[in-house]
A and B are shown apart, each in its own frame.
Chain A
Amino acid sequence: MTPDNMQAPVLRDPAASRAQPWRTAGWLLLPLVVLVGILALLLIAKPLERLTEGAPPVELASIERVRLTPGLISLSVRADGSQPVSVAQVQVDAAFRSFTIDPPGPIGRLGSARIDIPYPWVAGEGHTIVLLSSSGVPFEKVIEVATATPVWDGPTLVMLAIVGVLLGIAPVATGLLAFPAMGTLGANGIRFVLALTVGLLAYLFFDTLSEGFEQAGKALARLRGPAVVLVTMLVTAGALTMIGRRHGRAPEGVALATFIAFGIGLHNLGEGLAVGGAIAAGEAALATFLVIGFTIHNVSEGFAIAAPLVGRKPRFPTFLGLAVLAGLPAVPGVWIGAQAISPFWIAICFGIGAGAILQVIVEVTSMIARRGGAAALLSPAVLVGIGVGLAVMYLTALFV
C-alpha cells in the first residue's frame, strides 16, 4: 500500500487535513522509536545470551541451482542459520573434489555463492554432491539424471521457443476457434459458457497455487515461500482488479477477454518454467509428455478467453492479440526454466499467475451476476458449467 492510500481518509476531511500530516508523522515515529529501543535492548543488553551460549551453531544451506557444462558442475548455494556457512570441502559421488567458490570465504545469512567443481559428469547418469561445512555438516544435492544445461545460443533459443509456441499459442488459438459456435448460443447457453470459464479458471487457480507452494517448499525455509506465494497472489489480484476498474466499471467484452488472456498468459509462463525446468533437469522425455499434455489442456483456455466476447464482433487481429498474450509467455517461461533458476523466484511467478487468475474469476463471476442477478450464480446452468469446467481441466491434466 502506498502512503497516498493511507492518507486517503484524512484527505476527505479538508478541515482536519491542514495541520494533520505533521502530527500523524510524529505519532508514527513513536512506535518506531519504541521498536528501535527493543531491538537495541536485544542486541546490546543480550537478555537471551544465557539461552544461546553453548548452543551449537545452526548451519543451513540450500543448493538452489545446478548447472552442468562439459567437465564442470556449477552450484548456486544460499546460506541460512545462526552464523555464516563456510563450505570447507566438496564431495561428488562420495569422493573429495577440488573446487572454487566465488565469492571466497563464508557465505553470510541469506547470502549466496557460486561453487565450480571440475568433474567428468556422465550424461544420463545420476550424481550426488555433498558440501561439507566447517563444522562437518553435509549439504546434499542429488542430480537425478545429468544433462547439459542449455546454453543461450541461437539454435537452442529457437528450439525452446518452438516448444513454448506449441505449449502456449497454438492450443489457445485452437480454443479460440470455438468462438463462432458460441455466437449461436442463447442467454442460458452464454451463461453456461461463462460458468464453464469460471470452472476452467478455478482449476488453473488451484493448479497454479499448488505449483507455487511446491516450488516454495524447495526454497530456504526462512524465505517463507508459501506465505510469499499467497501474498503475491493477493497483491496481484488486488492490483489487477484496481487497474481493470480504473474507469469505475467492471471490465467486459474485449477488456475482460484481455484480462483473462493476461492471467492465462502468466499461468502459461509457469507451465513454460515447468517444461524448461524438466529439460534442464535432464527429464527431456518428461518434457515431451508435458508439452503434449499442456497442449491438450490449454485448448480449453481458448474457450475461456472467447467467452466474454460472445455477442460482440471482435476483429481478427483482436483474436490474434489475445492468443499471443495468453500463449507467448510460455516461450520466455521455457527459456528461463531451462536455466534452472531459484525455486523462490519461480514460486513468486506462480503467485503472480494465481493472482491474475483470481482477478478474472472474480470479474467473470460478477459479470454473470450483473447479467442475470445474484440468483443466476446458483442456477443449474452456472453450477453445471463450473463443474464441467473443473472436470474438463482435471481430465485433460491427466495427459500432462
Chain B
Amino acid sequence: MEGENAVVGQVDHARNGFDPHEILTDWDVGEVSIDAQGRRVREWVVTAVDKEVEVAPGVMFPAWTFNGRIPGPTLRCTEGDRLRIVFNNGSAHPHTMHFHGIHSWRMDGVPYAGLVQPGGTFTYEFEAKPFGCHLYHCHAMPLKRHIHKGMYGSFIVDPDPSRHPDAVAVAESRLLGSARNAEWQEIMICMNAFDLNFDDENEIYAANTIPFAYQQKPIRIERGRKLRIYLFNITEFDPINSFHIHGNFFDYYDTGTTLTPTLRTVDTIMQCQGQRGIIEMDWSEHEPGQYMFHAHQSEFAELGWMSHFEVV
C-alpha cells in the first residue's frame, strides 16, 4: 500500500456556509428591474465578512470574504445591463470591489475611488461591458494580502444576441436562460490557493477553494449537453496557473470577449493571475467514466488542484 495523494477527512461545507459543488453553478443574477429609460437594471448587495474558513479538512484559515464565501458570489448579467452593486463592509479592514470591465475611474474600486471603511457602504454603478468572462476582487492595499485572503469572485457578462446579428446563435448559447443556453452544461471554476502561514508561498491549491473537492466527489457531466467552463485564475504568489483535461480537447475563448475561439483544439491552457477565459468541450462521443482535469503544474495538482469529471 503506497498511500494516496489526498487530504484526510472531509471539509464541513455546512459550517463554511458554501459548497464547492454548488458554487459551480450558483449564478447570482441580482434583483432585476427596468428603469425610466426602459433599460434593465440589476442590483446586488454584497457584504465583506471576516471569517474562519476550513480550507482543507481540519485546517482553518482566517479569511476575508465577499458574502462569507470563497470565491464570492458569481455575478452574472447581460451585456448592456445597468449594474448597481451595493457593497457593505462588515469586515474589520477597509475593502473595495474592483470590477474588470469598462467603466469610469470613479467606479473602479481602488484606494482613491470606492474604498469602503469598516461599517461603511458604497454603490458601484456601471454598464455591463464588454461581454465576457470577467472577475472582481478587492483592490485595497496591501493588494497581495487582500487577494490571497479570499476577496475575489467571478463576474460573467453574457453577450446580448441582438447586438451580434452575425452570430446570433452563438451569442444565444451563452445567454443564461435562453433555449440555446439550455443545451449547454455550464460551470464556473476559480483557480485559487492559500498561504496558510503568510510566508508568501501557498500551501494549498484548489479549484474553487477546497483542495481535491472534485476528486473526492467528481463533477457529473451529461454527454448529451456540451460543457462550458467559465475559468479564472486568482492564484497569488505563483506567476501562472493552468487547466489540463484528460481524454479530450477543447476550444478556448481568452477573456471570453469573442464569439469565435481564440484557441482551437487544445487540452491545456495557462492563465496568469487575473486572466480568465471560456472553455467549450464536447463529450458526446466519449465512453462514460472518470476523466481527470487539473493544473498541469504537478505541484499545484498534488497540493489540491486535482479534479474529476464523471461523464455519464
Contact = CB atoms under 8 A, between A and B. Distances in A.
Given A97-B3, A117-B3, A132-B203, A88 B59 contact: yes
A91 B303 contact: yes
Contacts, number: 77
A94 B299 contact: yes
Nearest to A56: B62
B179 interface: no
A26 B196 CA distance: 55
B285 interface: no
Contact of B302 (A88, A89, A96, A136): A96
A147 interface: no
A119 B2 CA distance: 5
A136 B148 CA distance: 14
Chain B binding surface SS class: loop
Given A137-B197, A138-B197, A132 B59 contact: yes
Nearest to B195: A136
A94 B59 contact: no
A118 B8 CA distance: 13
Contacts of A137: 196-197
B196 A97 contact: no
Interface residues of B, number: 26
B60 to A, nearest CB: 6
B1 A136 contact: no
A132 B6 CA distance: 14
Interface in B171-216: 194, 196-197, 203, 211-212
Interface string A131-167: 0111111100000000000000000000000000000
Contacts of B3: 71, 97-99, 117-119
A89 B3 CA distance: 14
22 contacts: A71-B1, A88-B59, A90-B8, A91-B303, A94-B302, A95-B5, A95-B299, A95-B303, A96-B6, A96-B302, A97-B4, A98-B3, A117-B3, A130-B203, A132-B203, A134-B59, A135-B60, A136-B55, A136-B59, A136-B60, A136-B203, A138-B203
Interface of A: 71, 86, 88-91, 94-99, 117-120, 130, 132-138
Given A96-B304, A135-B196, 15 more contacts: A71-B1, A71-B3, A88-B9, A88-B58, A89-B58, A89-B59, A94-B303, A95-B302, A96-B5, A96-B6, A97-B5, A98-B8, A119-B2, A130-B203, A134-B58
